[in-house]
Amino acid sequence: MAMNLAGKKILLGVSGGIAAYKSCELLRLLQKKGAEVRVCMTEAATQFVAPLTFASLSKCPVYLKNGAVEARPFQHIDFPRWADLYLVVPATANVIGKFVYGIADDPVSLCFMSCTGPRFIAPAMNVAMFNSPAVKRNLETLRSFENTFVMDSPAGELACGEVGKGRLLDPAEIVAYLETRDERLVTREGECLPLASAACASSATPSNGGHPRNAPESQAAQYLQETALQDLPASGERVRRVLITAGRTEEAIDPVRYISNRSSGKTAVAIAATFLANGFDVSVVAGPMEAEFPGAVHVTKIKSACDMHKAVLEQMKNADVLVHCAAVADYRPKVAATEKIKDSRSQLILELEPNPNILRDSVAQKRAGQVIIGFALETDHFKEHAAEKLKKSGADALLLNAPVAANSGFGFDEVRYTLIRANSRNAQESGDSRNAVEVEIPEMKMGSKIDLAQEIVDFSLDQLKNA
C-alpha cells in the first residue's frame, strides 16, 4: 500500500552541501501533500541556508547545535520521537560517515542515532567524492541498517560544473520516492513495524502505474507527472514573480561614515521564504543586513537609496508583486566628502537632501494587474500616518509596523503590525484620485514576522486572482 503523506509528521535533516537550498522546495512540496515538517540542521548547513528560512517555511523553530537558550535539552530525542519518518536531504559524505560509525555530534547525526522509525537518506556530493572507496563502502553499509533507505544519486551536471553521479534527486522525485514506500512502514501512532515490513516495502511494486525502484525511466516520469508534480504549475504556465526590497540603506558622509538605521532584514527574509513556499520566483534588492536569504532567492546587493531606486525600477517590469520592505533612509548628505573628515572636535553641520521615493516612483510605473505593497514604520498616531502614506503612494496595501513594544521590531522575531488595504471600489468611483481613496484600517496585533509574511502573501494571491 503506497504511503499517503497527508497527515505525516516528517523530520527533515539538512546537512552542509550546496544542494541544501533544494530542501526549501522539498519542504514546500511535502506541505502541499499535507505533511507537517520540522527541521534540524548541521552548523555547516546554516552557511548555505539561513535557519530563519526553514523556521519561516515550517512555522516551527529549527533544531540547531547552538540553538536558543530556552530550547529543550532533549531535542535530539524529542524531534525524532515526534516524527513518523526522518528524511535527510542533502546527506553529505561527512554526515553519511557519521551515520555509519555512530558519531553523533550535531543535530542531524543525533536525530539519526535516536530515530526508531524509518530513515530516508538522499546523498549529494561531487562525483569524485561519490566514487571514492570510503563513500561507496559507507553507502553500502548504510543500506544494510534496519529501516534505513538510501535513495539513488543520479548522474547529471553538478554545482561545480562537472558531470557525473552525486547529484541530489529533484525535490519532486524525492516526494515520489516517499509516496511509493509501503504505508505499513509507519503505524498511526508513529511506531516502526518490524523489519519484515521494511523488506516488503523495498521489493514491492505498487499497482496502478506505481514507481518501483528499478522502473523504466518513462514509467518513472509518468508517475512523477501524475502524482508528485500535480500541485506545481502546469507545463507552459508562467511562474509568478515577486520583487522585494530588503535591509537598510547606507548614505555616505565620507569614505568611512554613513547615515543608516537598525534594520536586520529578518522581516524581508520571512517574506521571501513565504513567497518561495507558495511557488513564486523570488528576487530581492537588498541593502546591508544581517539575516540571510534562501539559496533559491535571486539577490541584487546595493548600498544607497539611489542604488536601490535604480535597481527596483529596472527589475519591476518582470514582477507580478512588489513588496517594499526595506528601511530606506529618507535623506542623504547633499555632498559626501571624498576624504575622511578629520576629528577637530568642532561642530559639524551636515546639509541633507531627500532621497527618491521608491514606493511612489514604482507605483507611477505600475502596469495593469501588478500588485504593489508598501511598508510604514510609525512611532505615534500609527493608523493616521499610515493611511495618509497609503493614499499618497497609490499602493494596493501598506504594512504598518510599530517597533515600540518590548522585545519586538528591529532584530526581533515578533512585531506589532496590521495590513492596511486600499478600497479599490471607492478608488474607481472617485476616478482613481489617490487622496480620495478610502482605506480599511484593521486593529494592530502582535505577531511573528512569519505571520506577517503569510498575510502579505495571502493578500497578493487574492489580488492576483481578482486582477
What are the catalytic residues?
160
- Collect all residues with Cβ–Cβ distance below 8 Å to 188 and sequence separation of at least 6: none
* Contact in structure between 323 and 456 (CB atoms under 8 Å): yes
Beta strands in 326-413 (DSSP E): 331-333, 352-354, 371-377, 397-401
Closest CA to 231 of 3, 13, 5: 5
156-165, long-range: CB within 8 Å, 24+ apart, which pairs? Answer: 158/126, 158/127, 159/18, 159/19, 160/126, 162/126, 162/127, 163/127, 164/127, 164/130, 164/131, 165/127, 165/130, 165/131
Q: Using N-to-C axis directions, what is the helix angle for 75-82 and 107-114, rounded to 10°?
A: 60
3-class SS at 67? coil
- Residue whose C-alpha cell is 494596493: 396
- Which amino acid type is present at position 425? R
Q: What would the grid cell of residue 443 be? A: 486593529
284, containing H or E segment: strand 281-286
CA distance 438 to 391: 8
CA distance 319 to 216: 40
| β-bridge mates for residue 156, sequence order | 164
